[in-house]
Amino acid sequence: MPSVAPPPFPPSQQAPLPPPIRITRTKTPTGGILLGKYQLGRLLGHGSFAKVHEATSIDDSSNVVAIKIIDKTKTVDAAMEPRIISEVSAMRLLQHHPNILKIHEVMATRTKIYLVMEFASGGELFAKLLRRGKLTETTARKYFTQLVSALHFCHQNGVAHRDVKPQNILLDQNGILKVSDFGLSALPEHLNNGFLHTACGTPVYAAPEVLRGKGYDGSKADAWSCGVILFVLLAGKLPFDDSNLVGMYKKIHRSEFEFPTWISNPAKAIIRQLLDPNPDTRMSLMKVMETPWLKRSLAAYASSNKKQDSLLHGRKLKHEMVCNGVNAFDIISLSSGLDLSGLFEGGNEVCRKEKRYTTTMELEGVMERVKETGERLGYRVEKGKRGVLGLGKGRVVLTVEGVEIAELFVLVEVKVVEGTAELEEGQWLDLEAGIGDIFVS
């Protein structure tokens, strides 16, 4: 094995076969010692069903890790553990790439699941952007090179990330980029006739074909997200930023955006080709790697400080704590982006006041289905302008508005105008039971 690290794009990026996933089961931990192996440190973040701690190995206090603790008793999804194992499988398959966050160990008790992961002490790239705004082209190209390398490696090994965004791109203590959060990733077994079908990801970074909910190629969808990220790195803002959701969807589907004057022509050319709304003609990450603009950073990446290269490609679990506050909530998958189908599920006040759906059915057919369902459930139905219906029942008044975003792609928004307190969750469920089969899930 050579002492000098290889460049980020080795001739063959096929990952070696990973060891089998082992779920270690043991007694629930007490006190600050987790499973007799890790000393739990400060709480770094928490969500509804999980929390993240900094931790150190009992055997070697210099080994700092991040541990995500998932409480299975609080989850509403009985299939959560298989999904976590699927996520872990993807990360284990990809663990040998220097720009992908590593997972070290998975442990479980009757009520908890523990994911022990690499601690990226440099925090999110998103936080860096918030502090500094746009980056210089040299810096942006450095990060973009590492991102493309990591995702190309994913694709060559049959994994599509599907939630590529700055919040899921981390930096270690040496400023080396680490792609994280494979909670929405897809493996080859998720393909249906060669395509993926789940509409997921964060809308402002998601490709048009993903938002449509039709079959799509995960690698091409990731390439679109890379185009958005390169724009953000260089411009300091989103290309399709719009406070109006409908307006944003239209901009994405038409690829309507404007370049700031300071972005160079070679970078503009790459962004334009990545943000091609037609996935068949969109630039692939392999083609991106062959562009002169990106190749310019390869030599610098490969011949950088040898000490840094050693840390970059080292396999030993050893990390130094040098950060002042890091959002580990996003480091290890607590924030897995926006699954569009999740917008249809009730359970909180926001969802009870407003819900959005997408469908590939024609607008007239959608509104007719809503009308028939409303009348059958005892609602008074009043027609407004094209694509708008009013539904009334007792003190509850709802408006349903459908908007054609693109050909055979309709966004439907349901809002509670009056009677939020009187609206029962069952009413949402009844409406969705009547019209839900036309929507993309």
Residues involved in catalysis: 163
List Cα–Cα distances, 291 to 222, 228, 298, 301, in angstroms. 18, 18, 11, 16
Tokens of 332: 């290890």
Q: Judge whether 120 and 101 are in contact, CB under 8 Å.
A: yes
Tokens of 8: 């980020």
Helix/strand/coil for 194 = coil
Helix/strand/coil for 290 = coil
47 by Cβ neighbours in 10 Å (0-12 / 13-18 / 19+) ranks as middle
Tell me the C-alpha distance between 383 and 389, whole Å. Answer: 5
Could you tell me the maximum CA-CA distance found in the chain, to the nearest angstrom? 75
Q: Please give the single-letter amino acid code of residue 380.
A: R
Q: List phi, psi (to 5°) of 343.
A: -70, -15
Q: Assign residue 35 a region: left if phi > 0, alpha if psi is -120 to 50, beta otherwise?
A: left
Q: Judge whether 28 and 111 are in contact, CB under 8 Å.
A: yes
231 closest CA partner among 334, 321, 135, 148? 135
Length of the chain: 441
Tell me the C-alpha distance between 238 and 29, whole Å. Answer: 44
User: Which residues touch 312 (CB under 8 Å, ≥6 apart)?
Assistant: 5, 98, 174, 176
